[in-house]
Amino acid sequence: MFSLPRRARRAIIVGFPLLLAVSLTSACTSMGGRVHSAADYRAHDVRTKQAGMDTVVRLRPAAQLAGTGPGATPEDAAHEEHSSSCVDDFGFDKDNVTRGEPSYSWTLRYATRADYLTALAHLRAGWKAEGLTVTDLPAGDGRPGRPGLPGIQTTDHGIELSLQQAWYTDDPTVYASGECMRYHAEQ
């Protein structure tokens, strides 16, 4: 059996946890990224919401925006989503620095499944024509008696866009999610 000298064992026992702590601290700090201004974050939020609204507008056939009346705009139907994936779990953000990840959704109503599938195909073709990589999303489980709907997603200038079936309602939904950003909170 192989045995290390007492000094070597002590160095490993004391040094390894210290090395691990320093490595994790460095990794977490560097993963946080650059700290932007509050104005930068607001602009990122506006770009994210606009990308989602542009996606809704380009759907053919057009969908009815759920929860809105006649003449409603994508701006009226936007729902701000909240995510816990962009938080500072380790407490490294200090000095009035916070994190945000803008995310919006639009719930759609189509008269028929065929209308939804046509809109999905049209959107896929449009994204591909712009040179974007389109990923197919599997059909959701659907509710009893209702088959699930397939979806697609892409990333355009750091904003993830998708048309897919919502998790809880099974409704066709457009999602727009911006990247997590560290920024100075306004006081």
The three-state (H, E, C) secondary structure of 87-146, written as one string: CCCCCCCCCCEEEECCEEEEEEECCCHHHHHHHHHHHHHHHHHCCCCCEEECCCCCCCCC
| pLDDT at site 169 | 85
| pLDDT at site 18 | 46
| pLDDT at site 72 | 87
Pick from 180, 163, 157, 165: nearest CA to 34: 180
Q: In the numeric block, which tokens belong to residue 105?
A: 């959704």
Amino acid at 64: Q
- Show Cβ contacts of residue 43 under 8 Å, excluding neighbours closer than 6 positions: none
| pLDDT at site 61 | 96
| pLDDT at site 122 | 98
Q: What global pTM score does this model have? A: 0.79
- Terminal-to-terminal C-alpha distance of the chain: 63
pLDDT along the chain (187 residues), means of 10: 61 54 40 84 97 97 89 93 81 83 96 96 98 94 77 96 91 96 84
| pLDDT at site 147 | 79
- Phi and psi at residue 141, to the nearest 5°: -65, -30
Q: In the numeric block, which tokens belong to residue 102?
A: 């803008």
